[in-house]
Structure 1
Amino acid sequence: MPNATRALPPCTDTTWPRLILGSTSTYRRELLSRLRLPFDTGSPDVDERALPGETPLAMAVRLAEMKARAVAEQMADDVVVIGSDQVADLAGTPLGKPGDHARATAQLRAMRGQVVQFHTAVCVIRPHTHFCQTRVNTVAVRFKALSDTEVETYLKLEQPYDCAGSAKCEGLGISLLSSIESDDPTSLIGLPLILTSQLLSEAGLNPLAWLATQEI
């Protein structure tokens, strides 16, 4: 069940759905808070392993939808649920969260000197109106030709074991990269806010419209 972070304040002129982020990620929670919408969080508890023959892009889409549906199914009231997943794509091979130092080392060694596509899928569901849409933002990241010492130093200092691709671009991980090609600076961190804002508006929860009803 969701862990309440803030209650949606009542509006006198309209009824707004309750917003739920279907993720326990601190990165996605921080990103979503930038939209200034109150929200709850819920743990989707889904199996994040790739299916046989599944492409990284298809994997990101499937998991984002599974996460959103898993949380939405727990709710009886009018809710808008956000599910998101990011999969790093190294020449067609999916790279998820390493989980430990050994796997992170293997990932970074494999990615050095390579261009990696980071697919971040966002699914927004509002069961009461049968709204369900999923979109993907892809970021192309070129890694430097890193030495083993650079890889080891970085991992010991930042320990990015909960990040797809074993690097935090918002931190020291930026020093591992030669370039980033993206039309949404928030996508690589884990939740593309441009797509998220669009989907929320289409679901009936426009951030600026909601804020206009509040005392600013």
Structure 2
Amino acid sequence: MNPGLVLASTSPFRRELLQRLALPFDTCSPQVDETPKAGEAPGAMVARLAEAKARAGAAQKPDSLIIGSDQCAELDGRILGKPDSHQRAVEQLGAASGRTVVFHTGLCLLNAVTGEAQVDLATYRVRFRSLSAEQIENYLRKEQPYQCAGSIKSEGLGIALFEAMEGDDPTALVGLPLIRLCSMMERAGLPVV
């Protein structure tokens, strides 16, 4: 019998992405301290947090395959997390205007029974258009992406802020790299197709 599949996330965006695979899954809320460690690179941080979320999920669902994921945006070596407020979103988008932002998405598939963890990192580069203060305000009033890394929802109106995107898995930009996840699930004995 195949173990159950569990998404260790409260993100509605990750839940919507995982539904694309047409597999039954459950969700749980991992309680993980997301504070970066001193000197920790953005990619290393999201990979660590993805695994930590999966392990926190395994404590709740010990007979399952647990998916953990975490994302941050990076500009000039500085992490742009979730803005949580309109003012912080204005600052983030103002800083990103006319620049390239790298989105790092950590992914972990953990077999809670064996303890085996597959961990990977997906990066996606986004070049932002030069944005006026009016464009930033209009976007934020319409989309309100205050719980999204870097203050954008690429799957929505946020696409209008971009000049170009570069990466091998467009779902990584939304927060759950499905191409990598399908490969991990196959290796774990749960093929998608």
Q: Considering the TM-score relative to the shorter chain, is it more than 0.5?
A: yes
Aligned residue in 2 for 1:72: 58
Gaps of 5+ in 1: 1-14, 209-216
Tell me the residue number matched to 2:99: 114
Instruction: State, as a whole percentage, how many aligned pairs show the same letter.
Output: 53
> C-alpha separation between the residues in 2 aligned to 1:131 and 1:203?
9
Asked if structure 1 preserves the Cα contact closer than 8 Å seen for 2:28 and 2:60, the reply is: no
Shift of 1:203: 1.5
Contact 2:50 2:69 in 1 (8 A): yes
Structure 1 residue corresponding to 2:20, chosen from 34, 40, 44: 34
Task: Find the partner of 1:178 among 160, 163, 173.
Answer: 163
Counterpart-to-counterpart distance in 1, 2:86 and 2:35: 19
Q: Verify the 8 A CA contact 2:61 2:112 in the aligned structure 1.
A: no
Q: Deviations over 1:161-186 (max 9, x none)?
A: 01001011111111111000121121
Shift of residue 54 of structure 1? 1.5
* Bigger-Rg structure (1/2): 1
Specify which of 177, 184, 187 is matched with residue 199 of structure 1. 184
Residue 42 (structure 1) shift: 0.4
Match of 2:143 in 1: 158
- 2:126 maps to a residue whose letter is V
SS of 2:105's equivalent? strand
Query: For 1:104 and 1:114, how far apart are their aligned partners in 2?
Result: 16
Q: Which residue of 2 aligns with 1:211?
A: none
Structure 2 residue identity aligned to 1:59:
M
Report if aligned partners of 1:131, 1:203 keep a CA contact under 8 Å in 2: no
Runs (4+) off by over 2 Å:
none
* TM-score with structure 1 setting the length: 0.87
Aligned to 2:66: 81
**TM-score of the aligned structures, taking structure 2 as reference length:** 0.97
Number of aligned residues? 193
Structure 2 counterpart of 1:8? none
- 1:44 partner letter: P
Tell me, in whole angstroms, the C-alpha distance in 1 between the residues paired with 2:41 and 2:133.
29
Q: CA deviation at 1:73?
A: 1.5
| 1:49 alignment counterpart | 35
2:184 aligned counterpart, secondary structure: helix
